[in-house]
Amino acid sequence: MATALSLAPSSADPTFAELLAARPSLSMHAHDGLLFEDVPLARVAAEHGTPTWVYSAGTLRRRFRALRAALDGAGLRAGIHYAAKANDSQAVLRVLRGEGAGADIVSAGELRATMAAGIPAAETVFSGVGKTADEIRFALGHGIYQLNAESAEEIAMISAAAVALGVRAPVSLRVNPDVDARTHAKITTGKADNKFGIPFEDAAALYAHMAALPGIRPIGIATHIGSQITDGMSAFRAAYARLAELVGALREQGLPVERIDCGGGLGIPYRDEPAPTPEALAGAIKATLGHLGLPVMLEPGRWLVGPAGVLLASVVLQKQGAARRFLVLDAAMNDLIRPAMYEAWHGILPVSPVAHVAPLSPADVVGPVCESGDTFAKGRALPILSPGECVAFLDAGAYGAVMSSTYNARPLAAEVMVDGHRCAVIRPRQTHEDLLAHQRLPEWLTA
């Protein structure tokens, strides 16, 4: 099975020391154990239980500032629109807003969340292949900055909604540049056979058509070629070069282009992938689009929040199977689904200082859910850990809590934010009562 293979260890697995060295917000304290910023994760587990997501406000700020500095350093006029789907926690959104982030959203629910966190609709982009008429009206009614349209059918819907509201909708065309981002198949979005975007060949004609519609103000073009792109800048460059070509063609037709949306997708090193820097991305944008003299937008999600979160879990028991050692945790695939869904590799660090110097042996790290897919890692080099000892899944800030479910009637985990020495619950753990509270019985079953 492919999953088993890719979760399997190799000599390339980084050591605990290497994982820590690459993550400045985490450190090992001889007495307090693993610290996230200045807060011992053992204390978080003792006070709030496990499984618990922990986010670092300082890491969010540092990463946002690094991205901002890279864009400014390249001389780009660039707006950063955080892709809220990566982590839509109110506290996370507020920290990023405090740094000046706008938002990229994919549903009316996300627009409510970002507005509640203080990000105005006027600084928010609405992406997505299936916006409903209700969602389009909702966004236009709040003065959305930009709608990224993905089809001729959607453009007709947007124009009709705008006319009915007596406004002109600011619309960018999301173009599918047909480039291979060389990332996992489930998160590649810029190939011709993906559902996303307008085929490159159709884009110029459709843009001209938009300009002729009463409800639409054409703003520019957009692309987003995929997520977790770590394979250098070649895919980004190829996509942006096509956008530049398209802008040239539109200008020749006398069509206005105000700005270019470069999407998200910048990857992070989960294991030992080459880390693409924001400077490299800024350089690629400058080299391919700089000559157009237009402002650009970015929609980063994972790069901003991924390394700013960990999932804290406790050992339930260690089970010696026929051929393997299983470390059974109280976290499961319903909490962090990335290993099951994308064959993702997450660093797993023991929290106790003693465990960091204990002898290592291979263990399969699993959750209690009744699925063989509920496997976080296979043959991972870990010490013997007793029931109640804690481990942290690294880089779990993006596509973590937002993808959780309550499968196996497991309540959603608590979420906590640390900021320097401070630590606060930002979403209490769900209770069993919560799980039952919103259910109803048809009257014929209660009679």
Ligand X SMILES: *Cc1c(COP(=O)(O)O)cnc(C)c1O
Positions marked catalytic: 370
Q: Count other Cβ atoms within 10 Å, centred on residue 212.
A: 9
Shortest distance (Å) from residue 305 CB to ligand X: 8
Whose Cβ is closer to ligand X: residue 265's or residue 276's? 265
Shortest distance (Å) from residue 345 CB to ligand X: 17
Peptide bond into 411 cis (omega under 30): no
The number of angstroms, rounded, from the C-alpha of 16 to the middle of its chain's C-alpha atoms is: 25
Which regions of 325-429 does DSSP assign to beta strands (E)? 325-329, 348-350, 361-366, 375-382, 390-393, 414-419, 422-427
Whose Cβ is closer to ligand X: residue 131's or residue 302's? 302
Shortest distance (Å) from residue 53 CB to ligand X: 17
d(CA 369, CA 184): 25
Whose Cβ is closer to ligand X: residue 50's or residue 227's? 227
Whose Cβ is closer to ligand X: residue 266's or residue 390's? 266
Whose Cβ is closer to ligand X: residue 127's or residue 288's? 127
* Lateral strand order in the sheet of 39-40: 26-29, 33-36, 39-40
- Both tokens of 194, joined, read 């993906």
The burial of 400, by beta-carbon neighbours within 10 Å (0-12 exposed, 13-18 middle, 19 or more buried), is given as buried
User: Which residues are CB-contacts of 189 (< 8 A; sequence separation ≥ 6)?
Assistant: 181, 196, 197, 224, 225, 226, 227
Shortest distance (Å) from residue 264 CB to ligand X: 3
SS3 63: helix
Whose Cβ is closer to ligand X: residue 16's or residue 342's? 342
Shortest distance (Å) from residue 266 CB to ligand X: 6
Residues at the site binding ligand X, with contacts judged by CB under 6 A: 83, 85-86, 104, 127, 224, 227, 263-266, 299-303, 398
- Residue 293 has phi, psi (to 5 degrees) of 70, 25
Query: Is 256 marked within a binding site?
Result: no
Q: How many CA atoms lie within 13 A of 31 on its CB side?
A: 0
d(CA 443, CA 440): 9
Task: Match 């003065």 to its residue by tokens.
Answer: 143
Query: Is 300 marked within a binding site?
Result: yes
Shortest distance (Å) from residue 125 CB to ligand X: 8
**DSSP string computed for 270-283:** SSS-----HHHHHH
Cross-strand partners of 78: 296
Query: Is 338 marked within a binding site?
Result: yes
- Specify binding-site residues for pyridoxal 5'-phosphate: 265, 299-302, 399
Q: List residues forming the annotated binding site for substrate.
A: 302, 338, 342, 371, 399
